[in-house]
Structures are given as C-alpha cells and as structure tokens.
Amino acid sequence: MEKQVWIPFFSSFFCQLGQVYDLALRGFRAIFQKPFEKKNFWQQLEEVGVNSLPVVSLTAAFGGLVFGLQTYLAFHRYIGPGSESQGGPIIAVGLCRELIPILVGLMVAGRVGSAMAAEIGTMKITEQIDALFSLGANPVKYLVAPRILASMIMVPCLTLYGDVIGIFGGYTYNVLLMKVNKTLYLQNTLKYFEMWDISVGLIKALVFGLVIAIVGCWQGMTAEGGAEGVGRATTKSVVVASITILIMNFFLSKILPADL
Amino acid sequence: MTMSKIKIVDLHKSFEGKPVLKGLNLEIEAGETMVIIGQSGSGKSVLLKHIIGIMKPDRGQVFIDGEEISALPDEEIMKLSRKFGMLFQGAALFDSMTVAENVAFGLRRHTRLSEDEVQQVVRTSLEQVGLRGVEHLLPYELSGGMKKRVGLARAIAYSPEIILYDEPTTGLDPIRADAINCLILELKKKLRVTSVVITHDMKTTYKVADRIAMLYDGRIIEIGKPEEIRHSASPVVQQFISGRAEGPITEW
C-alpha cells in the first residue's frame, strides 16, 4: 500500500499509544531475562527513592498540615466547637488514599520522569543508544527495565513514607497547634482508619510509578532533533505523566473497593 | 563460489514516507576495506545501521556470513553483534563512564575474561590507538580526536570480525585525520578485519579503500577499485570525487 490515510490527531495518538504499549511490554519482559542489570537497578533505586526523600518530605508535611487545617476549620464551623477531634480519621484516610499518592506521583514525575527523558533522550541523539546495541547491550534491558522496576518499588515506598509524614502533619496542626484533645483525636483515628486505606494508596503508587518510568523512557527513546528535541521530550514526559496520573487516580479510586 | 562477508539485497527504507534507500545492492568480501562515498544525507549512516541490525529494512535483506540479520529477532541480533565493532560519527562514548569503563563495556558483555584480563585488554586497545594514561578521564575531558580514538579502541577491544566506520575523519584536523586513516590501515593488517567506511572525505577514501562504492539516490550507482572510480565515466561520480558544485548533482 503506497498511499497512507492520514487522520491527524487520532492516527498519531494511537501510533504513540502503540509505541508506549510496545515499550512497556519489552521492558517488562526484559525485567525477567538474565543477566540482570544490577548496577543500573541500584543506581535507579537511589535516584528515584533516596534522592526524592527531601522533596517528598516537604510536600507531604505541608500537604498534611494544610489538610489538617481545612478539616479543623470545617468541623469547627459546621459541626461546632469540640467536634474537631472527629477530623483525625478523615485526615488519615484522605491523605493515604488520595493526597499523598497524587503528590508523590506528581513530584516524582517532575523530578525523576523528566530526568529519565532527558538522560535517555541525550543518549539517543548522541547515538549512545546505538552504541549500547553495537556493544551487545539491549537498550531496553539496560536502560528501561531497571527504571521501570525501580520506580514500581520506590514510588510506593515514598508514598508510605509520605503517609507517615502527612498524618503527622495533620496531627501537628490539630493537636499541637490548635489544642484539639489528643486522646480523642487518636482514638477516632485508630477506630476508623484501616490498613486497606493505606493499601489503596500503595496500589495507586505502584501504577503511578509504572506510568512515570514508561512515559519518561518512551519520551527519551523517541527523542529526535538535537537539544531542542530533548527539551521537548523532557517537558512532554512531565505533562503526559502528570495528566495520566490524575486521570488514572480517579478511575482507580472508583474501581478499588471502599473497604475489604 | 565463496560467500560474501556482507551481502545486501534490494534494501528499501523510508522515513515518514520519504524514501532514503531505494533498492540498494552491495556485496562486501571478507578482509577487504569497502569505502562507501556519497553526499551528506544520502543514507550512508542508514545503510550502516542496517548492516549492524540497529535498523530493520522496509523491504530487502541483509546477510552477514550468509545469515539473514534483517530477519532475526532482537535477541539473536544481539548475539551477532559480537562480530561487529562500530565507530560512531560523534564517537558516542557513554558520558557517565570513564574511558576505561567505556572500552571495557563491550569486552565484559561479549567475552568471559577475568577482571585482570579485561584491564589488560583495555590498556592494549588504548595503546593500539595511541592513547596512554587516559583510562580515568571522563569523555567530556577529551578532545574530539581523542574521543574518536577511544571510540575506536572500544570497537576493537573484543576483536570483532567487521569494523564499521561512520565518518571517521569528519571534524578532525588534517593531521589527526591522517592518523585515523593510518590506524584503519594498521588495524586491517594486524587484525585482518573486514572494514566498511562511510565518508565524504576523498583523501580518506583513496588512502584506505580496497574498493569504493558510490551511493546516490538510494542506490549504489558505481562500485570498483580506486583507479576505476577515479576514471569513472559517470558524470555523477566525477562531480562528487572532484568536488564540484556544477554538474548532474543539483541537490545540496
């Protein structure tokens, strides 16, 4: 067939979707093939996880604080003074299920997803990806697989860490700053807050980690057109990953049951 | 009839609907140095990437030692890549690794040498390209010519059977360029490799070539010994080798 039918938006959209799917599939398969790229994997664990700790700490702390503040205000205004300790479980559930996974996802997308696109994109345009190939290292196995695996492990870990910080932030605002009754606040929290609430957040984080790594690697691997192209790929990786995370978050919230 | 080392049959490749290679045929014998000349953007690098299996043809076949590399899955191509060493246009050194790690990269993957042996081979490979004491430098600390030489050391470290050179002398001063030419000749003599050089530098071409092939309009339009090419009757070839702006080639 010589002539191509050209439907501008949809054809490129589905073409890109196909690229992502293909890369994800090959990346996953490569995770289970020997030899394992141990060195790159450790490096990525550090990059995605350890190096994101400061950013996650700050966002989670202030996320928790502000969420605590609004919950306090809401109970104070609508239910009445004295009812603020009811806010404990709402803060914990809201943080663990929604706010922290989203914040961590967006932060890691901005910090790590963009770096993946930039690094792999630079390697692509300077022919380093071709060089890997010629030296017997499959680029998908060498670059993509360790990033996917590291993200899928570290984003949930960061989320769990963020949960702790965030809940402590909410506690700080209510109990330490606004002098809400400490015993009641803790009792209410422990009574209504369940392990499942944390698990939902971690399942989401796992998916977000996957999205961040695949979008970042895909943008890098398809970068072309010199420095400008790498810049474009970097920006696009953050935009695409962030939007995907926000959209997926809604559907995951809808699909995952409220309790077990 | 002896089998050619590299055989390319009716190779087609287009990018975004624009054809670059239009039915290219070429055979390269074991041990010879084939220089492929052609304008910038004529598809020389694309051709090279098909030989090593980085790109897959839209149509046509590429055989290495009789094995059709263009039909193999990626994992099999990776195994075959042991036969190739490639010097990239911009050297393509891994910029997060030192010179020594760069040179050792292919060795560690393609051979089962011990760490001591790897270090030994790294040293001798670097010496072969005339570099000493640069093992611990990072690529950004090297000059353009040194980068190319490290790239070459990396390509020859695991003793490949075929070395592919993508514009080995572009961007180098005349003296360094000639040093690279001498290296190509020396490697051929020492390692008895088959070499494919793509370039638009006629000085390099005449110095290293056993045979010359001219790539024009997606096909090989003429192939022959340097003397034959020099006296070619084709006006296109004559225009290119004498470097004139006037002639049948009007796109530039």
CB–CB contact A133 B89 (8 Å): no
pLDDT tens-digit readout, A87-101: 999 999 999 999 999
Average pLDDT over residues A158-167: 96
Three-class secondary structure assignment of chain B: CCCCCEEEEEEEEEECCEEEEEEEEEEECCCCEEEEECCCCCCHHHHHHHHHCCCCCCEEEEEECCEEHHHCCHHHHHHHHHHEEEECCCCCCCCCCCHHHHHHHHHHHHCCCCHHHHHHHHHHHHHHCCCCCCCCCCHHHCCHHHHHHHHHHHHHCCCCCEEEEECCCCCCCHHHHHHHHHHHHHHHHHHCCEEEEEECCHHHHHHHCCEEEEEECCEEEEEECHHHHHCCCCHHHHHHHHCCCCCCCCCC
* Centroid of chain to Cα B123: 23
Helix A100-108 and helix A53-74, axial crossing angle in degrees, nearest 10: 150
Residue A5 has a pLDDT of 58
pLDDT tens-digit readout, B62-78: 999 988 998 888 888 88
**Number of C-beta neighbours around residue B131 at 10 A:** 20
Structural domain boundaries in chain A: 37-255
pLDDT tens-digit readout, B117-173: 999 999 999 998 888 989 999 999 998 888 999 999 999 999 999 999 999 988 788
Which two tokens mark A26? 């090959």
Closest by alpha carbon to A125, among B102, B89, B164, B50? B89
* Range list of H helices, chain A: 8-31, 38-48, 53-74, 87-94, 100-108, 114-125, 128-134, 139, 145-171, 182-192, 195-221, 226-255
Q: Choose from A135, A138, A222 for mutation: most chain B CBs within 10 A.
A: A135
Residue A1 has a pLDDT of 40
pLDDT tens-digit readout, B206-243: 999 999 999 998 999 999 999 999 998 899 999 998 88
Residue A142 has a pLDDT of 93
Single-letter residue type at B75: E
Residue A2 has a pLDDT of 47
Chain B residues interacting with chain A (CB cutoff of 8 angstroms): 17, 49, 52-54, 74-75, 78, 81-82, 84-86, 88-90, 92-95, 105-106, 109-110, 154-155
Q: How confident is the model at residue B29 (pLDDT cuts 50, 70, 90)?
A: very high
Q: How confident is the model at residue B252 (pLDDT cuts 50, 70, 90)?
A: low
Pair type for strands B6-15 and B59-64: antiparallel
Of B54, B82, B95, the CB nearest to A130: B54
Chains A, B: CB pairs < 8 Å: 55
CB–CB contact A128 B109 (8 Å): no
Q: Choose from B45, B55, B105, B159 for mutation: most chain A CBs within 10 A.
A: B105
The span from the CA of A61 to the CA of A167, in Å, is: 8
Residue A102 has a pLDDT of 96
| Mean of all residue pLDDT scores within chain B | 90
Place of tokens 């957040």: A201
Of B74, B86, B94, the CB nearest to A134: B86
pLDDT tens-digit readout, A3-58: 555 667 777 888 889 999 999 999 999 999 888 889 999 999 999 999 999 999 99
Of A123, A131, A136, the CB nearest to B78: A136
Closest by alpha carbon to A129, among B85, B165, B206, B88? B88
Q: Choose from B51, B56, B72, B94 for mutation: most chain A CBs within 10 A.
A: B94
Of B54, B85, B155, the CB nearest to A133: B54
Into which CATH architecture does domain B6-242 fall?
3-Layer(aba) Sandwich (3.40)
The span from the CA of B142 to the CA of B92, in Å, is: 13
Place of tokens 């993957």: B109
pLDDT tens-digit readout, B104-121: 999 998 888 999 999 999
Residue A6 has a pLDDT of 62
Q: How confident is the model at residue B42 (pLDDT cuts 50, 70, 90)?
A: confident
Residue A4 has a pLDDT of 55
Residue A92 has a pLDDT of 94
How close A124 comes to chain B (CA, Å)? Answer: 10
Q: What percent of chain A has pLDDT over 70?
A: 97
CB–CB contact A138 B90 (8 Å): no
Residue A253 has pLDDT above 70, yes or no: yes
Structural domain boundaries in chain B: 6-242
Helix A100-108 and helix A145-171, axial crossing angle in degrees, nearest 10: 140
Of A4, A128, A136, the CB nearest to B82: A136
Torsion-angle region of A25 (φ positive above 0: left; ψ -120 to 50: alpha; else: beta): alpha
Q: What percent of chain A has pLDDT over 90?
A: 86
The span from the CA of B201 to the CA of B173, in Å, is: 12
Cα–Cα distances (Å) from A122 to A40, A125, A127, A151, in that order, read 17, 5, 9, 21
pLDDT tens-digit readout, A164-186: 999 999 999 999 999 999 999 99
CB–CB contact A134 B78 (8 Å): no
Average pLDDT over residues A132-136: 91
Residue B12 has pLDDT above 90, yes or no: yes
Residue B208 has a pLDDT of 93
What ipTM does the predicted assembly reach?
Answer: 0.89
CB–CB contact B81 A133 (8 Å): yes
The 10 Å CB-count burial string (b at 16+, else e) for B132-166 is eebbeeebeebeebbbbbbbbbbbbbbebbbbbbb
Place of tokens 């624009």: B18
pLDDT tens-digit readout, A20-29: 999 999 999 9
Q: What percent of chain B has pLDDT over 90?
A: 57
Closest by alpha carbon to B164, among B72, B54, B67? B54
CB–CB contact B110 A128 (8 Å): no
Pair type for strands B211-216 and B219-224: antiparallel
How close B205 comes to chain A (CA, Å)? Answer: 24
Residue A232 near residue A173 (C-beta atoms within 8 A)? no
The span from the CA of A166 to the CA of A205, in Å, is: 15
